[in-house]
Every structure is written in C-alpha cells, then in structure tokens.
Structure 1
Amino acid sequence: MFKGRIEKLREAMNQKGLDGVLLLGDPNRNYLSGFTGNESYSLITKNQAFFITDSRFTQQAKQQVEDYEVLEYSKSGSFVDFLSDLVQETSIKRLGFEENIITYSIYKLYKSKVNCDFIPMHGIVEKIRIIKDDEELKLIKSAAEIADKAFAHMIDYIKPGMTEIQIGLELEFYMKKLGASDLSFPSIVASGVRSSLPHGEATNKVVNRGEFLTLDFGCIYREYCSDMTRTLVIGKPSDKMVEMYSIVLEAQKLALKEYKPGVPAMEVDAVARNYISNRGYGEYFGHSLGHGVGREIHESPVIGYRNKSKLVENMVVTDEPGIYIPDFGGLRIEDLLVVTKDGGKVLSKSPKEMICIG
C-alpha cells in the first residue's frame, strides 16, 4: 500500500523535475510511511526512501515503517546537518518541501546549511491524498460510525439547563470511550443566538427551551477524521425555526444528489445555495457547501462556488448548508459522504429530520 503511494509521489516528482522530497508535516509523512508518531522526517528520492527520526521514535519507526531505511539523526548532531550530508550523498539538486509547513526561519536555516535548491511542492502529496483507497475508506467509515453512536447518546443525554461546555465534554468523552483517539477538531456546540456562529465553540452558556442547538463534531480513528453536524431544537420550535430548518434540510438533500464523478464542485454548491437564496435566506449562507475530509479535517477539494474542478470517485467530502441569522440563531445539517460512480454514498447515518428535546 505505502509502496504504491510512494510510486505515485515519484511520478509527480518527475513531472516537476524534483530529485527528492522532504516531508515534515504529520499528515503527508504518515500517509506515505504508515508511521503514527510525530516530530520525524521523510526524505524520498527517485530510488530511495529514508525515514529520519530521533531516539524517542526510532523503535516505533522500525516497527511501523516499511519500504524505508530508518535513520536516527540524533546520534550525529542536528537534523539540518544530518540532512545536509544525506542530500550530498544522494546527489539531490532540487529538493521539494512543504511550504505550508516549514516556517520562514527554518527555510532560511536549511538554505544556509544544505547545498541544493529548495522547491515549493504546491500540494503534490495532498493531491494524491484526495482519492482515498479501500483501507482509508474503511477507517473513515469507522470514524463516522463512532460519531453516529455518539450523537444517538447525546439525544438521550442533553437536557435544558445544561451548559454548552457540559454537552461538549460529554460528546468528547463518549467518542473516546468508543475508540476515538482524539477529536477531529474542537467540537462546535452553539445554542440560541450563538447558533448563528458557524464555528461557535462551547461556552458556559446555558441551553434553554425555544433555542436551536448546533452540534458540529467528529473524531479521529486510526489517523482518519469524521465530520458531522446536526441541529437540535430545545423545547418547542417557533414557526420561523421550522421554516429555516426545512429549507436547510431540503437544500442539503438536493445537493446530495449532485455528488457524482465529473460534476464541477461549484455546480454542487450552486444547487444548495440557489435553493436557500430563492427562499429569501441567501445572505445568511456565507460559507462553502463542503470540503474534503481524510487525515485532516479540511482537505481538498473545496465544494464551493469558485471551484471549477470536478468530483472524482472515492473522494470523501461533506455536504453542509446552513442559515445563520445574527441575534436570532442558525442551523447547519452536515453529512460525510463518499463520491461513488453511482453518486454520493452517505457515511453519516444519524437522522436529519428535526429532533426536539425537552
């Protein structure tokens, strides 16, 4: 599996005229190696692959990493000096680097110590990661199943009078109890007027009757993320809340039908956006309809009105329209799905119809 991923990277390297690639960021390095730790490096050339770490991770790397030569740099001094020697030994002249990971100060250090040209990669590995293989799809599905089970638990757990933080802590605890290693991102728990904040993290606000309660959450299972949003009603909804909810739900369902290979991302976004706009709420839906999910919670592609790129089979993406009215409240409904030849296969199985609690 990892050997095949490395070969795809080498094809991209050849196209860009790179002699080697240096990987520092956890998502890309671990995607290509199988390592589950951090603070380590990969140097991949046209015919060799080196996994470089220190004494804290050497044993772990030798257990997890195949198809690489595992090297420990801490025995010979600093990493940059070790890298300099290795680049010289392997005759690298043009070395690709993750310009979104390496800071300017580190870049200047490398430039002063390592005798090669440093070439920004512009997302070479990320583009490979867009298409998920069978093992990745299996792990993402497992992460989504944990989120679904957690939501079912939260429906029974949540009561009026609880705080957002109390709800968020229970959500985190329950997902970890089910096997998650961490949260995909800090859970969004926003109620009442705060539910108009698309990324409103939990506060000490008390959840009251007559309010929306938006839960946007996910977990990491064996390095892969899930992402789902459901909006509950605490108590009895007003007519306006019912109207808003029905519009978002219908927009979400209509867009879901468009997640097919070959369809431009902007056209999928337009289906939901136009539906919401035609019902008078267009100004209250400001973010993109969705995004890719994998080792990171936000990956390519963006399902947005500017993205002309086309969907491809085995992309994992979200479908999440919303309406957010300042000083009133808002809601979002989000599913995680896989693009298949037959359309979007939804991984988020939790009910989407309005649920009222208390």
Structure 2
Amino acid sequence: MTAERRAALRALLDGVDALLVTDLVNVRYLTGFTGSNAALLVHADGDAASRFCTDGRYTTQAAREVPDLDTVVDRGSALALARQAHGWGVRTLGFESGHVTVDGHTALDEAAEGVALARAPGLVEQLRQVKDATELATLRTACAVADAALADLVAAGGLAPGRTEREVALDLENRMRGHGAEGVSFETILAAGRHSAIPHHSPTDAELRRGDLVKLDFGALVGGYHSDMTRTVVLGPAAGWQRELYALVASAQQAGCEALSPGADVVAVDAASRGVVEDAGHGDEFPHGLGHGVGLQIHEAPWLGRNSSGTLAAGTAVTVEPGVYLEGRGGVRIEDTLVVRDGAPELLTLTTKELLEIG
C-alpha cells in the first residue's frame, strides 16, 4: 500500500527529480515508519532510486516497517539524503517548504552541493485527503472504539452529579484504552454547565450538577489514525431552552452532513450548516468552522469553513461539528466523522444524536 502511495506522489512531481519528505507524518504515510527521526527521498525514477533514512536507534524497526526501500543510517536524516542526492542523479530536489524552517532550508542548501532546491509544498497532504481502503478500515475501528467507550461510560453511571470534569474525562479516556485505543486523539474536552459554552474547554475540578448540559468532545487513536466525535447530554430532564438549543444544532448538523458530496465546495458545505444557525438568530454564537479532515492528524485538510477553499473528493474523511454557545448559560455541539461518498456520506461515529437526558 505504501508503494502505491509513493507511486501516486511521483505523478505529482513537476520540475524536480525527487522530493525530500521531512515531515514525520508524511514519512509515515509514505513508508509506514513510526519512529521519531526519519526522512525520505522519493525519486522520480522509482523506488529503486529512492532512499529512506533514519538513525541507528531504529535499524531493526526500519527493517520491519520499511522493508521495500534502501535505508541510509544517519542521525542527520534529511541532511544526509540531501548530501547524497547528487550522486543519485538528482539535479533539482523538491522539499516540503510548508514544514522546513528558514534555518532548515539554509542547512539543506549547504548540504545539497550541486543540487538546486525547489519548493514543493502540500503534495503529500494532497494525497492524504483521499483515504484508501486500509485507512478507512482503521478510521472505522477508531470511531467504533470511541462509540463503545461512551456507551460504557453512560451505562456505568459515569455521567453523574458530583463527579468532576477531570474524573469523567479520565474515565472516558481509560475506557477508550480498554477497548483497544493506543491513546487519545487529543485532550478530551469535558465541559459541564456554563463551561459547555466554551468551545474548547479544558476539564477542571468543577463538579457536574443536575440540570447541566455536558459536552464531550473526544477521540480514540488506533493505528496512528484519529477519531473525533462530540455529543452533548443533559443531566436530568432538559429545560425548554436546552431542548430548543439542541434541536437547532441538530438541524444545522444534519444540513452540513447532507451537503457532503464529491465536488462540493467546502465553503458551501459550511454555509449549508451555518445558515440554519444564522436564520435562528445565533450566527454570532457559532464562532468556528464547520469541520476538518481527519486521519493521521486530528486536524488536517480539507477545512470546512467560511474562509476555506477547495472542493471535496470521494473518500475524504471529514468532521461536521456545528455548535452554538450561550455565554454564561451553556452550549451544544454535535460532531460526527464521516466519509464523502457518491450519494449519502458514510457515517463512522454511530452514537445516537437524540438528546440524552441522563439520570
């Protein structure tokens, strides 16, 4: 599978003999390598002319994870490949200008004697937007782990007055690990009562109380891939204003999901959801974009927002997560991870979106 990805990357190379890949996420995508130091030279002439580089700590791991490429062992990784590029027939070397610092570029330029450097931003990220079958299977597993953990938490009475936000967040994270997650996608957002009106609230020692809106934004990390889901519940019977707010966000979320299709403009997808909120008079209380791509990174292209650009492609995994936040009272966000398909999108996060009144 990684060889196919490298072949797809070669088709994007324009005016360069090779691309020097230095971002570790992109290296992992193209090779499967999971260590902390590596670089990859993808040669236009094929894998036989390409080189992978890591340091001596990872020789055994590299042999296991990257068996199909010749490996250079050098602590300098990127500089080592740049230094040897001329001898491999490279005269113009593309580099990931979106990830290389000014000082890093200077070092590369000095190392790549006899080789011209050329900016080549975003090529691997372009490929990563459309997930292959292996990636989608891993994302489904990650989302299923998160679904199961939340179901366990609710069934065990873990969302109850008197528990703190920190306690509930840790409980949920441990349950994800218990279901097979290697870690969490990001720090869990567990926001109760007035805190639910803070879009990205960090859990505190504040106790959950009866009548609170409780917002849970969390995800499981499985095989390097991230799930992302938000659900908002009420502890006890919901008040009228909470029901109305929840119904509004649910309608906006449905509109956003229904707007996902191959070729759809990302601004138009955001507008489909945002328009529902604006028509209800709460446009100012929806302060963030509608969603983002998800995969080897929790936030990656494409971006669904008013100031974004581009269109969606079949096989792209994205979140749809409108929220309305009433300062001092509470907020609601509902988020799913979905895959763009011909026809209706594929829903990966399957926890109910009915308003849960717990306790």
Task: Quote the Cα distance in structure 1 between the aligned partners of 2:167 and 2:106.
Answer: 46
Q: Give the equivalent residue in structure 1 for 2:120.
A: 121
For the 8 Å contact 2:53–2:81, the answer to whether it is kept is no
Task: Quote the Cα distance in structure 2 between the aligned partners of 1:92 and 1:165.
Answer: 53
Q: CA deviation at 1:53?
A: 0.7
Q: CA deviation at 1:81?
A: 5.6
Question: Measured at CA, do residues 31 and 84 of structure 1 come closer, stay the same or move farther in structure 2, by a change above 3 Å?
Answer: closer
For the 8 Å contact 1:235–1:357, the answer to whether it is kept is yes
For the 8 Å contact 1:24–1:39, the answer to whether it is kept is no
Q: Give the equivalent residue in structure 2 for 1:7.
A: 7
Q: CA deviation at 1:85?
A: 3.3
Question: Measured at CA, do residues 308 and 113 of structure 1 come closer, stay the same or move farther in structure 2, by a change above 3 Å?
Answer: closer
Letter in 1 for 2:84: L
Q: CA deviation at 1:166?
A: 0.7
Say if 2:292 is the partner of 1:291.
yes
Letter in 2 for 1:94: T
SS in 1 for 2:281: coil
Gaps in structure 2 of 5+ consecutive residues: none
Q: Give the equivalent residue in structure 2 for 1:27.
A: 25
Question: Measured at CA, do residues 92 and 351 of structure 1 come closer, stay the same or move farther in structure 2, by a change above 3 Å?
Answer: same
Question: Measured at CA, do residues 84 and 35 of structure 1 come closer, stay the same or move farther in structure 2, by a change above 3 Å?
Answer: closer
Q: Give the equivalent residue in structure 2 for 1:232.
A: 233
Say if 2:257 is the partner of 1:256.
yes
Task: Quote the Cα distance in structure 1 between the aligned partners of 2:280 and 2:80.
Answer: 61
**Alignment root-mean-square deviation, CA:** 1.6
For the 8 Å contact 2:22–2:96, the answer to whether it is kept is yes
Q: Give the equivalent residue in structure 1 for 2:321.
A: 320
Letter in 2 for 1:46: A
Task: Quote the Cα distance in structure 2 between the aligned partners of 1:38 and 1:179.
Answer: 23
Task: Quote the Cα distance in structure 1 between the aligned partners of 2:321 and 2:6.
Answer: 33
What does the per-residue CA deviation read over 1:236-294, in whole Å, with 9 as the maximum and x for residues that have no partner?
32221111111001111122112111221222211111111111111101111111111
SS in 1 for 2:56: coil
Letter in 2 for 1:52: C
Question: Measured at CA, do residues 29 and 80 of structure 1 come closer, stay the same or move farther in structure 2, by a change above 3 Å?
Answer: closer
For the 8 Å contact 2:40–2:78, the answer to whether it is kept is no
SS in 2 for 1:136: helix
Say if 2:64 is the partner of 1:91.
no
SS in 1 for 2:332: strand
Q: Give the equivalent residue in structure 1 for 2:274.
A: 273
Task: Quote the Cα distance in structure 1 between the aligned partners of 2:83 and 2:102.
Answer: 22
SS in 1 for 2:169: helix
Task: Quote the Cα distance in structure 2 between the aligned partners of 1:173 and 1:240.
Answer: 33
For the 8 Å contact 1:189–1:213, the answer to whether it is kept is yes
SS in 1 for 2:11: helix
Task: Quote the Cα distance in structure 1 between the aligned partners of 2:153 and 2:106.
Answer: 49
Question: Measured at CA, do residues 254 and 158 of structure 1 come closer, stay the same or move farther in structure 2, by a change above 3 Å?
Answer: same
SS in 2 for 1:63: helix
Q: CA deviation at 1:138?
A: 0.5
SS in 1 for 2:338: strand
TM-score, normalised to structure 1's length?
Answer: 0.94
For the 8 Å contact 1:49–1:67, the answer to whether it is kept is no
Task: Quote the Cα distance in structure 1 between the aligned partners of 2:98 and 2:217.
Answer: 26
Q: Give the equivalent residue in structure 2 for 1:304.
A: 305
SS in 2 for 1:92: coil
Q: Give the equivalent residue in structure 2 for 1:102.
A: 100
Say if 2:192 is the partner of 1:194.
no
For the 8 Å contact 1:261–1:343, the answer to whether it is kept is no
Say if 2:150 is the partner of 1:135.
no
SS in 2 for 1:142: helix
Question: Measured at CA, do residues 82 and 260 of structure 1 come closer, stay the same or move farther in structure 2, by a change above 3 Å?
Answer: closer
For the 8 Å contact 1:131–1:312, the answer to whether it is kept is yes
Say if 2:153 is the partner of 1:145.
no
Of stretches 289-298 and 308-317 in structure 1, the one that deviates more from structure 2 is 308-317
For the 8 Å contact 1:80–1:114, the answer to whether it is kept is no
Question: Measured at CA, do residues 318 and 80 of structure 1 come closer, stay the same or move farther in structure 2, by a change above 3 Å?
Answer: closer
Q: CA deviation at 1:131?
A: 0.7
Letter in 1 for 2:259: E
TM-score, normalised to structure 2's length?
Answer: 0.94
Percentage identity across paired residues of the two chains: 35
Question: Measured at CA, do residues 100 and 183 of structure 1 come closer, stay the same or move farther in structure 2, by a change above 3 Å?
Answer: farther
Task: Quote the Cα distance in structure 2 between the aligned partners of 1:58 and 1:230.
Answer: 43
SS in 1 for 2:244: helix
For the 8 Å contact 1:258–1:344, the answer to whether it is kept is no
Letter in 1 for 2:38: S
Gaps in structure 1 of 5+ consecutive residues: none
Task: Quote the Cα distance in structure 2 between the aligned partners of 1:313 and 1:81.
Answer: 37
Aligned residues: 353
Question: Measured at CA, do residues 267 and 82 of structure 1 come closer, stay the same or move farther in structure 2, by a change above 3 Å?
Answer: closer
SS in 2 for 1:59: helix
For the 8 Å contact 2:313–2:340, the answer to whether it is kept is yes
What does the per-residue CA deviation read over 1:5-57, in whole Å, with 9 as the maximum and x for residues that have no partner?
111111111x2x12221222221101111112221111111122211011111
Q: CA deviation at 1:310?
A: 2.1
Task: Quote the Cα distance in structure 2 between the aligned partners of 1:308 and 1:318.
Answer: 16
